[in-house]
């Protein structure tokens, strides 16, 4: 179950996101707020997996909030402004949804986040893999000649 934080300075936008989250298996609204400062405090004090947030907010912009969030939090921006998309992706966000957000597009973003988190959860460091070869052999181009390359 992914714990979600909804952040938008407009209550009706939070209501729409809450409705969408409640329609998706595997998601739960852990908290919702209209304040970016409160959102940061929530993300730091609770186990939040996924943050849906607006960019243009009064106290702190969504871009600044995304920079300050704990690394474990994945971010999906929900905004009416397309011009911040590049900056968002440079921050490593999962997706960028333009308002009004359709349910279909919301689900696509959630699936992307779930897949990313699943891959990260089950990724093992190379050193922990048992019996993994520490070298490869490469043909040199000379008949029956190979070179061993240590990894």
| Secondary structure string (H, E, C) spanning 29-51 | EEEEECCHHHHHHHHHHCCCCEE
Q: What is the pLDDT of residue 120?
A: 81
Claim: this prediction has a pTM higher than 0.75: yes
d(CA 82, CA 86): 9
Domain span at residue 48?
2-150
Q: What is the pLDDT of residue 119?
A: 84
Which structure tokens are listed for 129? 């893999």
- Does residue 89 contact residue 96 with C-beta atoms inside 8 Å? yes
- Does residue 77 contact residue 96 with C-beta atoms inside 8 Å? yes
d(CA 91, CA 6): 18
Number of domains in the chain: 1
Continuous segment of H or E residues that includes residue 77: strand 74-79
Place of tokens 């919301």: 106
Q: For every one of its 151 residues, what pLDDT tens digit does the chain have, with 9 covering 90 and above?
A: 999 999 999 999 999 999 999 999 999 999 999 999 999 999 999 999 999 999 999 889 999 999 999 999 999 999 999 999 999 999 999 999 999 999 999 999 999 999 998 888 777 554 444 455 566 767 777 776 777 777 6
Q: What is the pLDDT of residue 151?
A: 66
- Does residue 88 contact residue 105 with C-beta atoms inside 8 Å? no
DSSP-assigned beta bridge partners for residue 75:
51
Q: What is the share, in percent, of the chain residues with pLDDT greater than 70?
A: 89
Q: What is the pLDDT of residue 59?
A: 87
Q: What is the pLDDT of residue 126?
A: 45
Q: Tell me, what CATH number does 42's domain have?
A: 3.40.50.2300
d(CA 93, CA 73): 10
């Amino acid at each position: 179950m992914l714990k979600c934080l909804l952040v938008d300075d407009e209550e009706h936008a939070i209501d729409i996101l809450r409705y969408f989250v409640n329609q998706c298996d595997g998601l739960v609204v852990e908290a919702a707020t209209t304040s970016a400062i409160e959102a940061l405090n929530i993300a730091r004090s609770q186990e939040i997996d996924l943050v849906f947030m607006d960019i243009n907010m009064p106290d702190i912009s969504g871009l600044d909030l995304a920079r300050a969030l704990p690394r474990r939090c994945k971010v999906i921006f929900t905004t009416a402004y397309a011009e911040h998309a590049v900056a968002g992706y440079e921050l490593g966000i999962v997706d960028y949804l333009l308002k009004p957000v359709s349910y279909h597009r919301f689900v696509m973003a959630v699936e992307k986040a779930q897949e990313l988190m699943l891959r990260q959860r089950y990724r093992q460091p190379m050193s922990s893999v048992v019996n993994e070869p520490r070298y490869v052999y490469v043909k040199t181009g000379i008949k029956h000649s190979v070179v061993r390359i240590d990894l």
